[in-house]
Amino acid sequence: MTKNIPVPSLKRLPNYYHIVCQALESGEKFISSATIARILDIDDTQVRKDIAATGYVGKPKVGFDTKEFKEHLEDFLGFNKTKEAFLVGAGNLGIALAKYDGFRKYGLEILAVFDNDPHKIGIKIGKKEVFPISKLHDLVKRMKVQVAILTVPSEFAQDVTYFLIESGIKAIWNFAPVNLKVPEDVLVRNQDLAANFVVFSTLLSEKRRSPDTLI
């Protein structure tokens, strides 16, 4: 088995992807690690190490082929593989995410939205119908969905999580600012936007640049 890419490297890859996309749009055939490094204000050796960790090889003297490298990153990061998910909680944020177009480019597809509010059930968010949460169990089984995006209010997050797990969900992208209790085999990724802002704002008040540009 090939060695797993280090998490810090993995987190920088989407940045490289953005840069290589922009370079490609400007008609640049090749891009050097030094150029990428300058844009992100990091070390160029690190860029090369990260790229090497994805298995892509550049051309000495010229750099990395933008088109090839872009496609390699899409492959490595799985943009072409559809990742199906259910979204639970049709509040403001939930609706925004359900409508958000940018996910498709990365291969994330929200199949359906769930909520408990009778007023919301049956309405369409973009092309997605809102179902009652009671239907989630069946639909998880039927559609074999493993991932849930959790956008319910904090106070319901843990109870809904128990229900998601009972229904067979194996991974939760959690937007509620709470620590969810889950069994060993369930993966949670927290996405506390407010907390992210707090980190940003603390660095700001200390006049420090965050070393990790993204995520």
Site residues, a copy of itself (CB under 8 A): 4, 7, 10-11, 14-15, 17-19, 22, 39-40, 77-79, 83, 92-93, 95-97, 99-100, 102-103, 105-108, 147, 154, 171, 173, 177-179, 187-206, 208-215
- Contact flag: residue 42 with DNA (CB under 7 A): yes
Burial state string for 168-180 with b = 16 or more CB within 10 A and e = fewer than 16: ebbbbbbbbebeb
CB of 211 to DNA, least distance (A): 7
**By the 8 A CB rule, do 125 and 99 touch?**
yes
- Contact flag: residue 81 with DNA (CB under 7 A): no
Cβ proximity to a copy of itself, 81 vs 142, nearer residue: 81
Bridging pattern class, strands 171-174 and 147-150: parallel
122: left (phi over 0), alpha (psi -120 to 50) or beta: left
CB of 143 to DNA, least distance (A): 35
d(CA 14, CA 9): 10
The item of a copy of itself, DNA, none sharing an interface with residue 116, based on CB under 5 to 8 Å by kind, is none
